[in-house]
Amino acid sequence: MRVDVIDPSAFTPPYDRALCSALAREGARVRLITSRFAYGEVPAADGYDVREDFYRRVPGAPGSRLRRVGKLVGHVPDMWRYRRLAGGADVAHFQWLDVPWLDAALLPRRPIVLTAHDLLPREPRPGQAHAQRRLLAGADAVIVHSEYGRRHLLSGLPLDPRKVHVIHHGAFEHLTRQRSELALPPELRAVEAPVVLFFGLLRPYKGIEVLLEAWRDISGAELWIVGRSRMPLEPLRASADQSVRFVPRFISDLELPAFFRRADVVVLPYTRTERFDQSGVLATALAFGKPIVLSDIGGFGEVAATGAGWLVPPDDPAALREALGSLLRDPARRERLAGAAAAAAAGEFSWRLAARKTLDVYQTVARH
């Protein structure tokens, strides 16, 4: 089977490339159609082809207004170019679509699969949620990462239930076997206390304020908040004590393992409850076999059900404090959670299983 996986803006290179590699290992002929990732290196292609056909001449720095405008101007011609290219594929599998209100009219005339990484836009602009719903309704198949995601979509959209498929987000095990991992910065290598790691883009819905409030009564450990910021940092720094360290920048794949290997606990205290389904950070924590404390939102409970995580109510600093404090005091419990995380990464949340289920979806839509 010939498959195109399309992510025009390279929003999720780790996911795109892990999926493409897994599909190729299962016998598919795969092309990744995307753009150059502007923030760092990406995993090398492993068994599939890559075409960086989108936004090739867009000016401006990553995230700048000039770049956003340039991408919008270039989007229609780039989508038309892909329509011509798509004739070589049996299925076009879109991970993201950048301009939903235009894209419904620009999709190629091939069987279309859409992955709803976000059930609705995380930071929606006027009309964007309606446009995304229209796209999902017009697809031949929609993939979500949890049963929660499936229920949420079907309750809010007039979708045929047979079109919505649950395929778990695979654990990013490729990050655990890189040849040239980089060490932690010297100031972090010198830390001897247990470490709780919050990792990923710093966004308002991720509950960092709740985490800092919960952390106030925890002693004898450090909290590391690591990732590029998409929100003001000064209020966070003002509410943090000396046991909290901020590393507010993009962390490359080669740097990432050192942070996860050093962490005693990984925490995901997210607050949004309706639009959120799964997390690449959670998939990374599973791959590294880490004990996880996570909010009971979206599809997180389905991961915790494997024994890999400790669920707490969202927006509840006291419950979060109790979970983190208990794990920091109890190495045996941390070990049990870590073992369950590693088992989930090798089984129910493996890329092999995700690829096989995805190919089943492709075969179904290609037959109709």
Cα–Cα distance for residue pair 14/217, rounded to 1 Å: 36
Query: Amino acid letter at 58?
Result: V
Q: What is the DSSP letter of 25?
A: H
Answer CATH for 177-346 from 3.30.1280.10, 3.30.830.10, 2.60.40.650, 3.40.50.2000: 3.40.50.2000
Per-residue pLDDT, 276: 65
Q: What is the tens place of the pLDDT at every residue in 224-265? A: 999 999 899 999 999 999 999 999 999 999 999 999 999 999
pLDDT in the model for residue 128: 58
Question: 331-346 and 317-329 helices cross at what angle (nearest 10)?
Answer: 100
User: How far is it, in rounded angstroms, from Cα 181 to Cα 173?
Assistant: 14
Instruction: State pLDDT tens for residues 274-283.
Output: 566 789 999 9
Phi, psi of 198 (to 5 degrees): -105, 125
pLDDT at 327: 97
CB burial of residue 324 (10 Å; 0-12, 13-18, 19+): buried
- Burial class for 196, CB neighbours closer than 10 Å (0-12, 13-18, 19+): buried
Read off the tokens for 194. 């247990």
Domain ranges in the chain are: 2-170+350-367, 177-346
Say which CATH class 2-170+350-367 falls into: alpha beta
Torsion of the alpha carbons at 53, 57, 61 and 67, rounded to the nearest 10: -80
CB 173 within 8 A of CB 252: no
Q: What is the pLDDT of residue 86?
A: 92
Structure tokens at 139: 């697809």
- Single-letter code of the amino acid located at 171: A
In three-state form (DSSP H/G/I as H, E/B as E, the rest C), the secondary structure along 276-288 is CCCCHHHHHHHHC
* Cα dihedral: 208, 214, 219, 221 (round 10): -30
Task: Note the pTM of the prediction, 2 decimals.
Answer: 0.89
| Each residue's pLDDT tens digit, 55-103 | 998 888 777 888 888 888 889 999 999 999 998 899 999 998 888 788 8
Residues of the chain predicted below pLDDT 70: 119-130, 273-276
